Structure 1
Amino acid sequence: MVFTCERKQMVAGQAILSETATTVQSQEYALEDIVRQHARLVYRIVYGVLRNHHEAEDATQETFVRVLRYGKKLGKVEDHKSWVARIAWRVAVDRSQQHSRKREIPLESFDQPFEELASSEVDAEEAILGKQVGARLEKLMAALPEKLRAPLILSAIDEMSPREVAATLGINEAAVRSRIFRARQILREKLTQQGNRK
């Protein structure tokens, strides 16, 4: 009788272990899928905040370490993209705040995204003008208040919908639209002012 009871417990224990192993394995696959599907998005988000490739690479890795750490919540998350984007945004903002006092943004970092726009069909003068305007625009974006810059970067640069931006930042869609409108309005005014000075 004792032997039968012990055997039942052993079989039950093996079933639990098997079920746990299956759950852990399915979580690992889900995390791999998240990394594969959202690595570019995460990098774009963190680069948009940090404006430095090395910092962005480190922040991307940190984001996925946090995703792994919070992996148990994965089953409860309805929208993985917004969840990962929110983690990436928090990592980037945290890193930016840590380095804001001692960090300077090198001017050449503003030119890098716009180098890709120049092609052999565009003459040199137009390419230089495009870089200058792009650099000015990025400097002006960097000067925007965080609450206006964040939705603008996520929507314009990372091509997220207002719903995704709202989920990432933890605000409602109306606030996202309003902040994007205000950020664009400020940028337009500043560019016009700079244009009138020349």
Structure 2
Amino acid sequence: MRGETLEDEKRIVASARIGGRAAFDQLARHYAPGLLVLAERMMGNSADGEDAVQDALAAAWLALRQFDQKRPLGPWLATITMNKCRDGLRRRRLALFFHIDGSEQDYVIPDDRPGQERELVSRQELARVKREISLLPQKFREPFVLVALESYSQAEAAQILGISEKAVETRIYRARNSLKEKFEKF
């Protein structure tokens, strides 16, 4: 869909709505990379993020007939992806509560390249940032990820999350303060 206009996208969506699998595949190829980054940030790891996006695209395919073509497709897909992330996080909490799930540690494999120690420290710092973001309360993490990391506007995030722009602004402020507090202690 690179280089195509909004009208081209509407035409492709219309084709997908009547069952055009190739048209939907074209939409999925265009939006999946962005959705994957969003889901990985929400879920805290790539495997769960990939599962969430796969579930979101399957749900979008099934619900495409109900999609209002007057609205932009990207935020609609982001909303579905966020909902699938929420579902996955709920399942994860239940599994942890019932001790069903094992440890979800990210293991860093040492590297022989020069600067290996610095790279290891950088990876550990990045893992800590990801972990701290994933530990934010969900109501703070969602707008923070959408606006600060995914570059959605506060208005778009409000629409995706179904809350007011002021609520988005307040939650981002609280998320940033929480992260700042945690890293000042470090």
Q: Return the TM-score normalized by structure 2.
A: 0.74
Between Structure 1 and Structure 2, which shows a larger proportion of helix residues? 1
Equivalent residue, structure 1, for 2:90:
97
Equivalent residue, structure 2, for 1:166:
158
Q: Which amino acid aligns with 2:175?
A: A
Instruction: Provide the C-alpha distance between the structure 1 equivalents of 2:167 and 2:129, rounded to a whole number of angstroms.
Output: 23
Instruction: Provide the C-alpha distance between the structure 2 equivalents of 1:161 and 1:105, rounded to a whole number of angstroms.
Output: 35
State how 1:73-112 maps to structure 2 within 5 Å: 73-102=66-95, 103=101, 106-108=104-106
Instruction: Provide the C-alpha distance between the structure 1 equivalents of 2:149 and 2:102, rounded to a whole number of angstroms.
Output: 22
**Change in 2 beyond 3 A, CA 1:57/1:188:** same
Q: Which amino acid aligns with 2:90?
A: Q
Quick one: which of 156, 176, 179 aligns to 1:184?
176
Quick one: which of 36, 41, 45 aligns to 1:43?
36
Alignment size in residue pairs: 165
Instruction: Provide the C-alpha distance between the structure 2 equivalents of 1:104 and 1:74, rounded to a whole number of angstroms.
Output: 38
Question: Among the aligned pairs, what percent are the same residue?
Answer: 25
Instruction: Provide the C-alpha distance between the structure 1 equivalents of 2:44 and 2:128, rounded to a whole number of angstroms.
Output: 14
Structure whose CA Rg is larger: 1
Runs (5+) with no aligned partner, structure 1: 1-22, 113-119
Quick one: which of 55, 60, 64 aligns to 1:71?
64
State how 1:42-61 maps to structure 2 within 5 Å: 42-61=35-54
Tell me the alpha carbon deviations over residues 95-114 of structure 1, each in whole angstroms, 9 at most, x when there is no partner.
220122324563317x69xx
Q: Return the TM-score normalized by structure 1.
A: 0.70
**Change in 2 beyond 3 A, CA 1:69/1:154:** same
- The answer to whether the Cα contact below 8 Å between 2:42 and 2:141 also exists between their aligned partners in 1 is no
- The answer to whether the Cα contact below 8 Å between 1:77 and 1:83 also exists between their aligned partners in 2 is no
Instruction: Provide the C-alpha distance between the structure 2 equivalents of 1:168 and 1:134, rounded to a whole number of angstroms.
Output: 27
**Change in 2 beyond 3 A, CA 1:68/1:44:** same
- Structure 1 residue 124 displacement after superposition: 4.0
**Change in 2 beyond 3 A, CA 1:55/1:186:** closer
- Structure 1 residue 49 displacement after superposition: 2.2
**Change in 2 beyond 3 A, CA 1:61/1:77:** farther
**Change in 2 beyond 3 A, CA 1:140/1:52:** closer
**Change in 2 beyond 3 A, CA 1:37/1:164:** farther
Tell me the alpha carbon deviations over residues 129-171 of structure 1, each in whole angstroms, 9 at most, x when there is no partner.
3223222222222221111111112223323222222222111
**Change in 2 beyond 3 A, CA 1:136/1:58:** closer
State how 1:140-159 maps to structure 2 within 5 Å: 140-159=132-151
Q: Which amino acid aligns with 1:60?
A: V
